[in-house]
Structure 1
Amino acid sequence: MQQQGEEVLIASTLIIGIIVVFLIILFTVFQRRKNQLLREKATEKKRFEREIAETQIEIREETLRNISWELHDNIGQLLTLAKIQLQNATPESLDDISETITKSLNEIRSLSKLINPEFIKNIALKDALQLEVERFNRLQFIKASLHISGEEKELNQKHGIILFRILQEFFSNTIKHARGSKLEVYLQFQSNQLTIKAIDDGVGFNMEEIQQKGIGLENMKTRAKLINADINLESKPNLGTELNIYYYF
């Protein structure tokens, strides 16, 4: 009887020991997995912050290029015209001179919004796009329009910067290469999604070729993935190009 009791005690001790060891192993595995996830999350956060910083620099560089161009070619021409008008001024031409100077001042005011160092950091996506559309129309680059539908929702500020940079790349390609006459941008707000569509009527391109050597397209997709967004670019020769971005709240 005593022997049976000892055997039960030994068996119980072994079972408890096995359970304890199993729990220790399970806890160790869990802790390692938890630490790995924390490290991955920290790495992903650093990568995201680095991407935001790089994107802000790219937007700032693009903005400064635009400002430089407008100062030299647009405002410079207006001021030169005003100077010529003043040199040949007559009482009848004062209204024309005043109009030229007023136009120059309005152009400078438009640029002053972009020069503000807080502009890139704080501006909302809708406002940034509106400024771009106004600039394209003002400088007669292309006939551009912005259409907004649905109940507007506030976007994550950093996500808005990424979205604006993706669209800015599309706009740059449209202006420089598409040779189109019209650019339309749509923001459609839904309960859990923002759909952004940008369409030009330019010369288009072969999608297979751009996918083989299109670094710009890969950059767009990589950035979209960072903010849980999907992106789709469609184009055909002589039928224009369409960019669709699906951002999920």
Structure 2
Amino acid sequence: MNLSPPSGGVAVISRYGVAVLLAGAAVAISYPFRAHLYTTPLLFAAVFISCWYGGIGPAILTTIASTAAIHFLLRLPGRGFTPDVHDLPRLAEFVFMAAVAIYLVQARKRSEQSVRQARDQLEIKVNERTADLQREVNERRRAEQAAQTAAQMAQSHVDMLLHSVDVLATEAAPATFIGEMLRTIGHHLHAQQVRLWLRSQEDDSLHLRIAIEGEQQIGLEPNHPFVRDPQSWHNSRLIQEMLFTKAPVVCEDVARDARLAPDHRDYLTNQGCKRFLVIPMFVLGEVRGFIAIQHAERGMYRAEEIELAQALAHHVMFATHGQDLSEQRRQGAILKERTRMARDIHDTLAQGFTGVIVQMEAAEEALLEEDPEHAVRHVRRARDIARESLGEARRSVHALRPQALDKAGFADALRNVIQNRTAGTSLRTDFHLDGEPRHLPANVEECLLRIGQEALSNALKHAHPTEFQARLAFDANAVRLELYDNGKGFVVDRVNDGGIGLLGMKERAEQIGATLKISSEPGVGTKITAISPYQPAAG
């Protein structure tokens, strides 16, 4: 039963009016049958309905009216209306029952209201929980989709990495590897063209390294604005944005992007390019170039496409930087070999020519003194020195050990070189050996021998001494070579960095970890000391 009374002032009147009508109706119905019926139930029903419909106030009014009706109006004829003490229990019973009914009805209404409130709250909570579950389901779906996308991206990265390793293992030329990686980028991103641009570290110009269209490598496109003017990229707002943010830059509409210069837009439009993606490439945190990926259809780049392009760009930069380092190492090796050959040629041919000149001058003096026998002897020595120097030059080309060390030990080889170069001349030479000779590494013997040859050659060419002394000492911790001449001498600071001879001696000393000291004084002579510590035994 769900009776809802009106609200407001009309509600009050209606509730009390209904109470009066109910009481009156109960009396009217009960009155004709007062002699035959028990009238209390109808009046009790009126109280019950008034309480249910109108509340406590109308119920009390109905109770009072019903009590009065029972006491005064429903009395049997002949008894009058004088109060009778015998009627009091009946009236008290009715009032008690009415009060209990009112209490129960109000309790029922409060209970129903509590149930409705609990139901409403439960419904709200259910709706909230349902919404939470729906949000959680949606989030899980999005997470699953993101995880699936990430897994696909990871698989793509793995596939690209494996492909890169396969290409690196099968392609010997780095340029071929780079071209293959650009083809891979174009294939997986369905690109129209892929270009690799690199910055020059010398003048910060931009150079097109490789351009790929489809599966083919194309020419270097002389009409491209950046190719016509390698410095014009500094005026490109789009490229400058990439340099500033150090992040990929997207152009999704070539025709309307205000960051493009007019000549650049015209060039791309003529090629049928509708959008493109620029991926920076880094070396030690610095942008050294970028990859431009062109597309012939309009659309938006997805985040996973940009991430994939970045991952592949790292592979390309790795290969490009490796190729540059390889080229630098190759150039360094060429320069090192040229330096070695120049030093060896100086140590062989130049020093040999010095010995030839000394012997020819001695032969000339012998002829002037009418001593043809000594003259012939000097000419033969000059010939032998020339042949020996030519042989040493040939051996140096192939980086072979000096012939003098192959024929004798280090001390004897040094002694023989000094004697052969100065035999028959007025130069007095002296060679001293101190200590017990020890076995030295081949490179140490060769470098010390070359230092001794150069010191002797410089003395013969420039100092014109009358004495030349060499001392080879095997000390406790190092081998020491001292070379002295009493020639003209020189100021060391003025020629410290000049001449292949002095520079060659320093380089050879550095090769074996030796210390080289050159002291000289004009008019007194020159002393050169090389000290090479013994190398620890292996194991």
For normalisation by structure 1, the TM-score amounts to: 0.59
| Deviation digits for residues 165-198 of structure 1 (CA, Å, limit 9, x no counterpart) | 2222211111111122111000010233111100
Q: Are 1:159 and 2:451 an aligned pair?
A: no
Rounded Cα–Cα distance in structure 1 between residues aligned with 2:517 and 2:380 = 35
Aligned to 2:349: 61
Indicate the larger mover: 68-77 or 145-154.
Answer: 68-77
| Deviation digits for residues 191-233 of structure 1 (CA, Å, limit 9, x no counterpart) | 3311110011112111221225455333321220111111000
Aligned to 2:388: 114
Q: Are 1:129 and 2:414 an aligned pair?
A: yes
Q: Are 1:230 and 2:230 an aligned pair?
A: no
Structure 2 unaligned segments of length 5 or more: list them: 1-325, 392-401, 535-539
Indicate the larger mover: 190-199 or 180-189.
Answer: 190-199
Which is helix-richer, 1 or 2? 1
**Structure of higher CA gyration radius:** 2
Equivalent residue runs for 1:19-168 within 5 Å: 50=337, 55-62=343-350, 64-65=352-353, 68-69=356-357, 100=373, 104=377, 111=384, 114=388, 117=391, 119-120=403-404, 122-123=406-407, 124-168=409-453
AA aligned to 1:122 is D
Whether contact under 8 Å (1:59, 1:120) holds in the other structure is no
Change (3 A) 1:145 1:219: same
Structure 1 unaligned segments of length 5 or more: list them: 1-38, 86-96
3-state SS of 1:176 partner: helix
Whether contact under 8 Å (1:56, 1:121) holds in the other structure is no
- Aligned equivalent of 1:185, options 439, 453, 470: 470
Q: Are 1:219 and 2:504 an aligned pair?
A: yes
AA aligned to 2:388 is L
Rounded Cα–Cα distance in structure 1 between residues aligned with 2:509 and 2:365 = 39
AA aligned to 2:533 is Y
Change (3 A) 1:200 1:69: closer
Rounded Cα–Cα distance in structure 1 between residues aligned with 2:532 and 2:350 = 24
3-state SS of 2:482 partner: strand
What is the RMSD of the two structures over their aligned residues, measured on CA atoms? 4.0
Change (3 A) 1:223 1:111: same
Whether contact under 8 Å (1:187, 1:197) holds in the other structure is yes
Rounded Cα–Cα distance in structure 1 between residues aligned with 2:414 and 2:472 = 10
Whether contact under 8 Å (1:200, 1:241) holds in the other structure is yes
Whether contact under 8 Å (1:67, 1:111) holds in the other structure is no
Aligned residues: 190
Shift of 1:120: 4.7
Percent identity reads 21
Shift of 1:164: 1.6
Query: Bigger relative contact order, structure 1 or 2, given CA contacts below 8 A and separation 6+?
Result: 1
For normalisation by structure 2, the TM-score amounts to: 0.30
